[in-house]
Structure 1
């Protein structure tokens, strides 16, 4: 079940609780003051921004509820706007998750930032029965229809894009342009690129992949791709008259570095929170590769396999 975060001001907790009661059948919902993965989303004596960054990595969707909490003077006119921290959280979650995975549910006539365009906006009238419920149900349907493969700005997505551009794209182009690959004095027109993804990321990823490599009998060969200053080294083996290119994307070590740099004080590779974030990031790495391969119709050339499937 997808994980959903609800943020609101303290004054709007009743709306957050009502939203959770509506959404709980379709999502694993956590309100900002509740526990998530065994600990509170916002911890005492912790850096508020650090807690928010963690939350933005732990959840698949975010709903921020904006109510008339603060009086502000705007161009000589007094208006009511949501609490500043709610607007800040909306920006953070939108940047992390993408605009299709976040929604701003706001009270009618509340003052909104001028650059709110593009964000899913649901407006309710607190004086009308079921108005809030109706808007939350609309947001729920929007989230349920959203794609799991949307490319956003998570570290895993960036790393997958770099891996695709620097290895998968030129390799697939080479195989198509040369109608296969010469390997050990023989030309193979039936070629597949196998990308092996581990179940977890160890401190020494190169050593980790060396151990995985022992399961194969690959030999190195080089290909010169057009427009590239140097050759690409690949590892391959022959199986049933087909050439299998085997690659281990060591670039995923960047996921560990990103998590560690975000949460230096409580980075623990055995904790439930870390394992949850890591599993989510590896899943995004894989889904991003699938989307990029599909865009260029390379899906038939590349197989992405988890270590457990070997």
Structure 2
């Protein structure tokens, strides 16, 4: 299976992206990180490229990291980069919820519509790895393509 991995460009997010890519590879699948050369060709519109990618991959992992500080109800909160949240919605609409997952690092504020989603907690590294492996095995067993 080809699995897209989306994140921000922050060093913490890219570190998580590499760790997730290694787990995907170890399970015999092909990680497709957003920063893979050639994935976003020059002259293309980013959203069109993302839609094309969503049609070619079997699953997607989006990393929600504490990237941006914003104000919410008179308090400062950390939230994932807006484009990563948008990409989650795009991949869910194309692939479905069971093939598109969120991995969260830190205590990120997420949009209220996403509050009920069960996510992979990257703060607990060992558990995160086992949860990701379990998800990959589930996809393989269901032969989701």
Please give the TM-score of this superposition, normalised by the length of structure 1: 0.43
Question: How well do the aligned residues superpose, as a CA RMSD in angstroms?
Answer: 1.7
- Give the aligned partner of residue 18 of structure 1: 19
- Give the aligned partner of residue 7 of structure 2: 8
Whether the 8 Å CA contact 1:22–1:133 is kept in 2: the answer is no
- Give the aligned partner of residue 135 of structure 1: 128
Distance in 2 between residues matched to 1:118 and 1:139, nearest whole Å:
19
Flag the structure with more relative contact order, 1 or 2, with Cα contacts below 8 A and sequence separation at least 6: 2
Cα deviation for residue 120 of structure 1 reads 4.1
Distance in 2 between residues matched to 1:73 and 1:117, nearest whole Å:
18
Equivalenced residue count is 140
Structure 1, residues 213-248: CA drift from partner, whole Å, max 9, x if none?
xxxxxxxxxxxxxxxxxxxxxxxxxxxxxxxxxxxx
Show structure 1 runs of 4+ deviating over 6 A: none
Whether the 8 Å CA contact 1:22–1:136 is kept in 2: the answer is yes
Distance in 1 between residues matched to 2:47 and 2:94, nearest whole Å:
13
Unaligned 5+ segments in structure 1 are 126-130, 150-279, 281-310
- Give the aligned partner of residue 56 of structure 2: 58
Distance in 2 between residues matched to 1:86 and 1:140, nearest whole Å:
22
SS of equivalent to 2:110: coil
Which of structures 1 and 2 has the bigger CA Rg?
A: 1
- Give the aligned partner of residue 229 of structure 1: none
Cα deviation for residue 102 of structure 1 reads 1.0
- Give the aligned partner of residue 241 of structure 1: none
Whether the 8 Å CA contact 1:100–1:119 is kept in 2: the answer is no
Unaligned 5+ segments in structure 2 are none
SS of equivalent to 1:105: strand
Distance in 1 between residues matched to 2:70 and 2:45, nearest whole Å:
27
